[in-house]
Homo-oligomer: A and B are copies of this chain.
Amino acid sequence: MTDDRTAGGGPTPHTPRVGSADDILAVDIGGTKLAVAVVEPGGRVAAYDRIETPGGLDAEGLWRTLESLMDKTVADSGTTSLGGVGVGCGGPMTWPEAEVSPLNIPAWRDFPLRDRLRARYAGLPVRVHNDAVCVAVGEHWRGAGRGRDNVLGMVVSTGVGGGLVLDGHLIDGASGNAGHIGHVVVDPEGPPCKCGGRGCLEAIARGPGLVEWAQEQGWRPEQRDVTGVDLAGDARRGHPIAESAMRRAGRALGIAIASATHLCDLEVAAIGGGLSQAGAMLFDPLEEAFRTHARMEFARQVQVVPAALGQTSGLIGAAALVVAGDRYWNAD
């Protein structure tokens, strides 16, 4: 499918499309979907396609699937030539080399994603970063954090990830891992976390963690293989345990964002990912916990808001790694 979307400053969806040498091929690689877009220099998505991440393939099979999707999307876009390739991919990865080992894509372990893309798109800049970092960049560049210099972008879904833009620039940290808000400690006596720690935000607020907690409390959903999104649905329908689970997630998020606000002097925290669609069920307790703990004078103006760009934020951010590299790319 080809799909016209605006994202901030681009032309409207009905403006006739003119190919540009500066278009960016943007890729978003996760455990549930592969998404590809051609993004114009201003952030407008000129073509977009996505498929479920295929299971049962080996590393080369998955790579060939991605190649097909990229070729189709470039053809759909009508672009005459590309100015670069930007990619968000699930972690962990080495950075900036981007040998990727996405937790939820077992077929790729130390897969040399950046090298493969460089070989395929010879001469073009190829930049790869963590997928949640790309969401943060997208939200800063053209989304809920636009025009601000200090933004935490988050993804709350199967895991809890994030990225930090401070003083107007993406923060990479020592190894490209800055932004791991999911492993900020919100309750030192809390549940064990997959990282080996205890009481991390992710251990409490990740969808599967919430589902597990709700089931322990007696939640008995009718469907099988339920997710945090199902839980949020039951919360909206007034199920008291589901409501408690959303309060639990909101409170953990509020505490972690308060800590991040005090440490980094933020202006905006933008929350994306499936669970963020729970609306007031999540954001009301989040706001309450945030205001309880973020009490320094300078924290009063901070806004905690849903991400603005929806499912294309990671693609738009991946494109920004290339077209706005002065702010978002600090590596070779």
Task: Tell me the smallest distance from the CB of A199 to a CB of chain B, in Å.
Answer: 8
A10 at the interface (CB under 8 A from B): no
Point out the residues of chain B lying under 8 angstroms from A183, CB to CB. 259, 262-263, 295-296
**Hey, which bits of chain A sit against chain B, CB under 8 A?**
92, 148-150, 164, 166-167, 169, 171-188, 193, 195-200, 251, 255, 258-260, 262-267, 289, 292-298, 301, 330
Q: How far is the CA of A301 from the CA of B197 in the complex (A)?
A: 16
A189: nearest residue on chain B (CB-CB)? B187
Q: How many copies of this chain are found per oligomer?
A: 2
A150: nearest residue on chain B (CB-CB)? B174
Q: How far is the CA of A307 from the CA of B40 in the complex (A)?
A: 48
Point out the residues of chain B lying under 8 angstroms from A295, CB to CB. 183, 193, 195-197
Tell whether, in the assembled complex, residue B166 and residue A263 are in contact, meaning their CB atoms are under 8 Å apart.
Answer: no
- Besides A171-B264, A197-B293, A198-B292, 11 other A-B contacts (C-beta < 8 A): A150-B173, A166-B171, A167-B172, A167-B173, A178-B264, A180-B263, A183-B262, A183-B296, A187-B187, A188-B289, A263-B263
Tell whether, in the assembled complex, residue B296 and residue A177 are in contact, meaning their CB atoms are under 8 Å apart.
Answer: yes
A301: nearest residue on chain B (CB-CB)? B174
Q: How far is the CA of A187 from the CA of B293 in the complex (A)?
A: 11
23 pairs from A and B in contact (CB 8 Å cutoff): A148-B174, A149-B174, A150-B178, A164-B263, A164-B264, A167-B172, A167-B173, A171-B264, A173-B266, A173-B298, A175-B298, A178-B265, A181-B262, A182-B262, A183-B296, A184-B263, A185-B186, A185-B255, A186-B188, A188-B255, A193-B295, A196-B295, A259-B259
Task: Tell me the smallest distance from the CB of A32 to a CB of chain B, in Å.
Answer: 23
Point out the residues of chain B lying under 8 angstroms from A298, CB to CB. 92, 173-175, 177
Tell whether, in the assembled complex, residue B185 and residue A293 are in contact, meaning their CB atoms are under 8 Å apart.
Answer: yes
